[in-house]
Amino acid sequence: MATGTRLPSGVRNGRGRDVLGTVLRTALPLVAVAAALLVGAVMLAVLGADPVRAYGALFEGAFGSTSGITQTLVKATPLLLVGLGICIAFRASVINIGAEGQIILGAVFATWFALAFRTWPGWLLIPSTIVIGFVAGAFWGFVPGILKARMGVNEILTTVMMNAIALQFMNYMIRGPLIDPAGVTAGQYLAQSEKLPEQVWLARLIPQTLLHAGIFVALALAIVTYVFLWRTTIGYRIRAVGLNPDASRYAGIRVPRYQALSLTLAGGLAGVAGAIEVIGVQHRLLDGVTSGYGFSGIVTALFGGLHPLGTIPASFIFGGLLVGADKMQREVQVPSSLIQAILGLIVLFVVASQYWARRRSNRTNDAPTTPAAAALGAGDGQA
């Protein structure tokens, strides 16, 4: 494909010109979170709980102690990885709902690989296990990607279906081929895999905590994703496809190909999250390995403005919310489901608030629509 494809001015990355617009873009997600927390507080009050105490316990639990912060970082790691994938997919106007399944595929194949090649030394086994996780997740993203590209199948539906398929696949694997043989001989058919060989475990950064080296992998990949999306031709085309598929097509970009690619990469990053959960946290494959990260990762990426670097602080905040929710449940007996409801509201409020950002950019006629708004608003009618 010809390099130096000329794109309409609408696809420029115009930063720093419309100051008020920039402020608005940054502030809207914060306002959305504040509004969601406010609604949560009202729900708590209606249910007869003290919102101040509940949120106090939440904040204290997430950020108030070393142990809290380490747990927050442990949860931030998969959120960041999934969120990075969501950034790539949503930037291409591809709605990836399939991160749950992609995490599972990554986790299952990472487990299988680490067990099958248990004689390998750690310096070789760790990176190859992570790569296997990436490949497995990428495959799970590639299938809906290619179906969308070649057959025009709506990726929202296929990714949802593939989540269910992945879940059953994992159920089969941890009760069948990957079941812990020690447990079987002991007569307890626990649905979990054998413990992984110790040399594949990621180093614990602080003793007596779960904080592991996976956070560095996630941070490094955040920078790689940023460079990829903003400093390479392929990344540029992915964003162009999302901003304006018609203009991109006229400019000679093969839109379906880049949409499939973005979904594949998104799946790969979610797969890495799955692999790292297995070798960093549990050291074996267990039921519920995704912990819903596939969905909370969407919230994280949206909050981060669908920007890889913005997703870093976002993952810390939402990791904290998840950790704090557990603490809140234990200490003031407010169910952690409250946080799930709040996460849902944050998604609703963030996508709704794009309305004002879009209106503003239309009014000022400053060529680039907000990247997030455009990525979200440039819906794919052909589904």
Q: Closer CB to another protein, residue 239 or residue 283?
A: 239
By CB under 8 A, name the one of 342, 368, 369, 370 that touches another protein. 342
Q: Is 162 in the site for another protein (CB under 8 A)?
A: yes
Q: With b meaning 16 or more CB within 10 Å and e meaning fewer, what string describes 21-57?
A: beebbeebbeebbebbbebbbeebeeeebebeebbbb
Rounded Cα gap, residues 265 and 221, in angstroms: 12
Can residue 177 be called a binding residue for another protein (CB under 8 A)?
A: no
Q: Name the segment binding another protein (CB under 8 A); options: 4-12, 107-115, 164-172, 181-189.
A: 164-172
What single string gives the DSSP state of each residue in 169-191? HHHHHHHTTTB-HHHHHTT---S
| CA dihedral over 252, 90, 316, 292, signed as positive or negative | negative
* Residues 279-298 within binding reach of another protein (CB under 8 A): 295, 298
State how far the Cα of 63 lies from the Cα of 34, in Å rounded to an integer. Answer: 18
- Window 45-104: residues binding another protein (CB under 8 A): 47-49, 90, 95, 97
In angstroms, the CA 179 to CA 191 distance is: 7
Least distance from another protein to the Cβ atom of residue 375, Å: 9
Q: Give the amino acid at 383.
A: A
Residue 317, interface with another protein (CB under 8 A)? no
Please select the residue that binds another protein; options are 131, 160, 219, 309, rule is CB under 8 A.
Answer: 160
Number of shown-chain residues binding another protein (CB under 8 A): 55
Can residue 152 be called a binding residue for another protein (CB under 8 A)? yes
Helix (H, G, I), strand (E, B) or coil at 218: helix
**What Å distances lie between residue 247 and 5, 170, 251, 259, 377, CA to CA?**
11, 42, 6, 15, 15
Q: Which is nearer to another protein, 181 or 379 (CB)?
A: 379
- Residues lying near another protein in the complex (CB under 8 A) are found at 43, 47-49, 90, 95, 97, 147, 151-154, 156-158, 160-165, 168-169, 171-172, 175-176, 295, 298-299, 302, 335, 337-348, 351-352, 354-355, 358, 376-377, 379-381, 383
